[in-house]
Structure 1
Amino acid sequence: MQPTHRTPRHRHRYRRLVRAACVLAVAAATAATAAPAQAAPVWGPVTPVDAAADGARANQQSQGFGLTADGRHALFGSAATNLVPGTGAVRYGLYVRDLRTGRTELASRADDGTPLAEADEQGGISADGRYVVFSAAVNGVYDVYVRDRARGRTQRLTDGTGATGGTGDPGSYQPAISGDGRRVVFMSSRADVVPGAPVEPGTRNVYLADRVTGAVRLVSAGADGQPADGPSENPAISENGRRIGFSSKAGNLLPAAPGGTAGLFRPRATTLYATDPATGAVVLAGLAADGTAGAADSVLRFSPDGRYAAYGLFVPPLPHGKSRTELFVHDLRTGRVRAVRTSADPAAICWASETAAITADDRWIYFSGGCSATVIPASQATYDLQRQELATGRTEFIGPAGDGAPQDGAAVRPFVSGNGRTVLFDDSSTNLFPGDPSPYGWQVYARTLGHR
């Protein structure tokens, strides 16, 4: 069952991360069959990101949403009330942390600077950190906004009237932004985002807004221009703005087969698509290694140049019916698909969280997961933050906890700077900082690679 797209729906994302970790933990555990050890990279200490200017830790859970190309500014969302003075009434806000100076600012503000009380739990930041995109509720209607941090102004991209012409949640959500801040993709259940588009009221579709021209167009459409005939959401955009992705259960997105008609491919589960906004051509992105469409998690990420798509696919369940997700990378230029595994043994049981990040030179992919030769007790399972060299498969471990001991929680959802030297991630561990465990669950951290 698809949940409705209201803010309480997104409060389940923390539980979703916990559930994913627990489910896969039952299925597999430590990387007992990991690839041969390599020289350990010299990573600096773990640094809290969801913190106030005086260093006070967030007093509620937080989640990372992005990192600038230079690794200096991190975007995160939090229900905390102690991060920025004067924002105690903010139930959920999006914040930008300067990792160099320690300054934290609230980005989810109205044009007059007033804090918006209820931001949605998703957002994005431009490559230089100037623009932050988010969705927030004003008068009960969710709209997409772009905050210009340099000018201190906020632009509303959707009109906020709330008119759907029918049933459904009248809002716009899940925004993502290109590196230059010009293009914004988002999901909306409104029927009037593009005047004249034959969109059914209350259905979820993906749109692209050009902030320079003001044009907004439907992205989740088939080769004949008709809107997707199933729910489409979870948009993503490459840093260069040349690739857009989304998840969908539609059956009319692919071109007609020779001698046949469009709509022959009707997925039974969520499927991931990629499109070139210049041509509108849609291709299947969420493929398994054998080239078939896999049942995918809803999250898709691109390399900055849009060449690679990284995503999680649900693979056959293990004993006791426990499912697991493996990470895949699809080279959209050559069509090659490969699994990202930390073991060279094809019989090894591998797992990964659904999100991964790729560096600007397409050399490294950052992810969380591991492999095991056997099914072992859940209490021994780990979600370790790692990076793998795409060309060679060489894997490097980015942990551990501050005292050198294994983490007692999971590290997931990495974002990485363009050069791969700074990584942002969510972590549920209580031993990253000995003597100072976080009682709030998921928190946001950063780590920087030192010079050799």
Structure 2
Amino acid sequence: MRGHARRSVSGRGRRALSAAVAVCAVTAVLPATATAAPAIASGAGVERISVAADGTQGDGDSAGASITSDGRHIVFSSAAKNLTADTTTATERVYVRDQRTGQTKGLGFLTPSHSPVISDDGEYAAYYGRWFNDWRIRLDQVATAREISLDCSAYSCSQPSLNADGRHIAYAITTSKLPPIGQRVEVQDLNAHTKEIVAELDHTMSARPSISGDGRFVAYQDALAQDVLLWDRTDGTVSGPVEGASVAAALVQLSDDGGKVVYLSGSDTYVHDVASGTAQLVPDVRGVAIDPTGRYLLYAPRGTGGPSLVLRDLRTGTDETVSDQPASAGTDAVGAGGRDVVFQSTADDIVPDDTNGKSDVFVRHYY
């Protein structure tokens, strides 16, 4: 499980979000307009991640970052050829940046088609890309850059999600080669070498599986029915749709503690509390990610003007601007307690001396 770190920004103490209310009720409507970002505390700030060990900026586009809960390791993809000594061509590759040592390590050369993910302990990274006529997931042990074998080579495998220690990986398999045509969501236990079927869907639209830190829960979407569901590994049962009947929804992410499911419905974002069955409404925003504790929501305001990415404390309703320049982020973009947020941007004035004219990966620290 990810750690439940706490922080203090502008004198505000933060703790994990507690939950209590009745099934499918909307318990709170928080303002959608972002408030001005508070003064950054000592040690806070923003830095560029897509750089070589000596700080040299990347000479290619970088994107698709995920961060570990403690903020130490950041995984991203880049077409730069100068980030590590063993990269000599401008082919997109996955990298892991160790914030403690300042070292950047290149992983396998499978070109990623989506943001890579990383286990909370920073030990494993997973990503998927085109492999001849299929999709293939590559799982790497970060320290050695060695590929770990997955038992899904006979099918088109994609959309990986790793639990906290990397022992469990959830993913989707497209069975278009074998009847009936559809998609299957599975969880693989890499220690026990076992697989469990989470769901079988009669279509190939994205299921977006998201696994909890302890590997117990997997949230996924039935994109055809526009439902979000939750599988419990302890008894193999599926609950939901979490959004209630006759409501169209799309999954964003399951929090690492398994307590919150973020989903989109219409122009709004909802944060569903698993224990109580209630939903907290955050209107007129597009939810992007949630921190491991389920308290801090990263979202993109809808409409024009204002910041592009905002971090909201769901308990207090207060907002902090992550980027007031055009920027984007993916799931697993927020560290525990909302301490760190990774994002990508082509803006050249987020940090000094950004002259490469490329998309870069940045991390904002709040203390």
1:369 aligns with 2:300: yes
CA 1:117–1:334 in structure 2 vs 1: closer, same or farther (change >3 Å)?
closer
For 1:284, the equivalent position in structure 2 comes to 240
CA 1:86–1:138 in structure 2 vs 1: closer, same or farther (change >3 Å)?
farther
CA deviations 1:259-314 (Å, max 9, x no partner) are xxxxxxxx3xx332221122222223552xxx4454334x4212221010112222
For 1:142, the equivalent position in structure 2 comes to 135
For 2:151, the equivalent position in structure 1 comes to 158
The code of the aligned residue for 1:156 comes to S
Root-mean-square deviation (Å): 3.0
**Structure-to-structure mapping, 1:114-263, within 5 angstroms:** 116-137=109-130, 141-161=134-154, 170-190=155-175, 200=179, 202-220=181-199, 227-231=200-204, 233-249=207-223
CA 1:143–1:39 in structure 2 vs 1: closer, same or farther (change >3 Å)?
closer
Structure 2 distance, partners of 1:157, 1:39, is: 45
Identify the match of residue 321 of structure 2 among 394, 398, 401.
398
**Structure-to-structure mapping, 1:431-450, within 5 angstroms:** 431-434=349-352, 436=354, 439-441=357-359, 443-450=360-367
Structure 1 distance, partners of 2:138, 2:235, is: 26
The code of the aligned residue for 1:236 comes to S
Q: Is the 8 A contact 1:327 1:339 kept in 2?
A: yes
Deviation at 1:337, TM superposition (A): 0.4
Give TM-score, length-normalised by structure 1. 0.66
1:311 aligns with 2:253: no
The code of the aligned residue for 1:215 comes to T
CA deviations 1:244-268 (Å, max 9, x no partner) are 0112145xxxxxxxxxxxxxxxx3x
For 1:82, the equivalent position in structure 2 comes to 82
For 2:273, the equivalent position in structure 1 comes to 331
Deviation at 1:119, TM superposition (A): 3.1
1:386 aligns with 2:311: yes
The code of the aligned residue for 1:283 comes to S
CA deviations 1:222-245 (Å, max 9, x no partner) are xxxxx3223352111111212101
For 1:295, the equivalent position in structure 2 comes to 248
CA 1:439–1:310 in structure 2 vs 1: closer, same or farther (change >3 Å)?
same
The code of the aligned residue for 2:191 comes to V
Q: Is the 8 A contact 2:47 2:351 kept in 1?
A: no
Structure 2 distance, partners of 1:44, 1:336, is: 34
Structure 2 distance, partners of 1:234, 1:207, is: 12
Structure 2 distance, partners of 1:146, 1:435, is: 35
Q: Is the 8 A contact 1:385 1:412 kept in 2?
A: no
CA deviations 1:363-394 (Å, max 9, x no partner) are x31313347xxx7xx4x354232221x2332x
CA 1:66–1:436 in structure 2 vs 1: closer, same or farther (change >3 Å)?
closer
Q: Which structure shows the bigger proportion of residues in helix conformation?
A: 1
CA 1:329–1:428 in structure 2 vs 1: closer, same or farther (change >3 Å)?
farther
Deviation at 1:125, TM superposition (A): 1.0
Structure 2 distance, partners of 1:57, 1:81, is: 11
Q: Is the 8 A contact 2:34 2:320 kept in 1?
A: no
For 1:95, the equivalent position in structure 2 comes to 95
Structure 2 distance, partners of 1:92, 1:142, is: 16
Structure 2 distance, partners of 1:238, 1:102, is: 29
**Structure-to-structure mapping, 1:410-421, within 5 angstroms:** 410-413=327-330, 415-421=333-339
CA 1:426–1:312 in structure 2 vs 1: closer, same or farther (change >3 Å)?
farther
Structure 2 distance, partners of 1:293, 1:412, is: 30
CA 1:121–1:92 in structure 2 vs 1: closer, same or farther (change >3 Å)?
farther
Q: Which structure shows the bigger proportion of residues in strand conformation?
A: 2
Deviation at 1:37, TM superposition (A): 6.8
Q: Is the 8 A contact 2:60 2:90 kept in 1?
A: no
Q: Is the 8 A contact 2:69 2:292 kept in 1?
A: no
Structure 2 distance, partners of 1:129, 1:202, is: 36
Structure 2 distance, partners of 1:156, 1:34, is: 46
Structure 1 distance, partners of 2:56, 2:229, is: 41
Structure 1 distance, partners of 2:31, 2:261, is: 28
Structure 1 distance, partners of 2:32, 2:290, is: 23
Deviation at 1:446, TM superposition (A): 0.7
Choose between structure 1 and 2 for higher RCO, CA contacts under 8 A separated by at least 6 residues. 2
Q: Is the 8 A contact 2:48 2:351 kept in 1?
A: no
For 1:358, the equivalent position in structure 2 comes to 291
Structure 2 distance, partners of 1:84, 1:57, is: 12
Q: Is the 8 A contact 2:51 2:57 kept in 1?
A: yes
Structure 1 distance, partners of 2:298, 2:321, is: 10
% of aligned pairs identical? 25
Deviation at 1:328, TM superposition (A): 1.3
Deviation at 1:426, TM superposition (A): 2.5
Pairs aligned (count): 335
The code of the aligned residue for 2:273 comes to D
